[in-house]
Every structure is written in structure tokens, then in C-alpha cells.
Amino acid sequence: MFRVVMPTSEPATLLILSSTGILVGAHTVGGNSEQEFSTADLPSGLYFIRIVETSGKHAWTIKLVRQ
């Protein structure tokens, strides 16, 4: 499980990408929110969490290691 605290008031799309760049999950998250996401269905490995504001103005990438 991982938790995301949105650093902006704008809604965003959260993408979960495998280490090879394959999209394995996508979620819409509200601005100024805090949400938890389950990793139970992901195999062990390295993932990238990409958060992109709806406007495309800002984006963040976070590494996630699933053990």
C-alpha cells in the first residue's frame, strides 16, 4: 500500500508504470486530498508513480519498490 498526499489543489491523474514503462494502473485523484492505493495485485519489482495535473502544468514522479 502507498499513500499520496496531493501537493496541489488541482485534480490530477495518477499513473502506475512498471520499470519498463508499461502502464499497470491509472486513477483520478482530487486536489488537496490524501488517498491510499493498494499494491497487493502488483508483482515484486520497481514501479514509477507519475502524477500529472489535469492542466498538464505540473507533474511529479515517485519511485516505488514492491517487495
Note the pTM of the prediction, 2 decimals.
0.87
* Per-residue pLDDT in tens (0 to 9) along the chain, 67 residues: 889 888 789 999 999 999 999 999 999 999 888 999 999 999 999 999 999 999 999 999 999 999 9
Listed as own residue / partner, the contacts of 61-67 with beta carbons closer than 8 Å and 24 or more positions apart are: 64/2, 64/16, 64/39, 66/39, 66/42
User: Residue 29 forms beta bridges with which residues?
Assistant: 12
pLDDT at residue number 6? 85
What domains are defined for the chain?
2-66 (2.60.40)
**pLDDT value, residue 7:** 76
Output the CA–CA distances (angstroms, integers) from residue 64 to 9, 10, 36, 43, 54, in the order listed. Answer: 24, 23, 14, 12, 22
Best CA proximity match to 62, nearest among 30, 27, 16, 29: 16
What pLDDT is recorded for position 1? Answer: 86
